[in-house]
Amino acid sequence: MKKVIQILAILFVILVPVILSAQPMPYDPSIGGGAGSAPVGGGAPIGGGLIIMLSLAVGYGTRKIYEARKKVLD
């Protein structure tokens, strides 16, 4: 039962972003995604996600250092 739940969770994480994609298909003139209408990369902002990812990386590194020091002191 646990294995089935793990498989369903993995499928959910993989398939949900594909199904719920908010970006238009590239080079679709009916939506306005023709060549030259947006900069390379589609013009999607990356600032918020980058800050979140960097803060999580700093937190993860801090925790690893804390655990390593705690293990050495014990």
| Local confidence pLDDT in tens for the 74 residues of the chain | 889 999 999 998 888 887 777 666 666 556 554 555 656 666 666 666 778 889 999 999 999 999 999 998 87
Find the domain containing 56 and state its range: 45-74
For residue 27, give every residue at least 6 positions away whose Cβ sits within 8 Å of its Cβ, in sequence order, or none: 33, 34, 35
pTM: 0.39
pLDDT at 38: 58
pLDDT at 73: 85
- Is the same domain home to 20 and 36? yes
pLDDT at 56: 93
Count of domains observed in the chain: 2
- Is the same domain home to 31 and 63? no
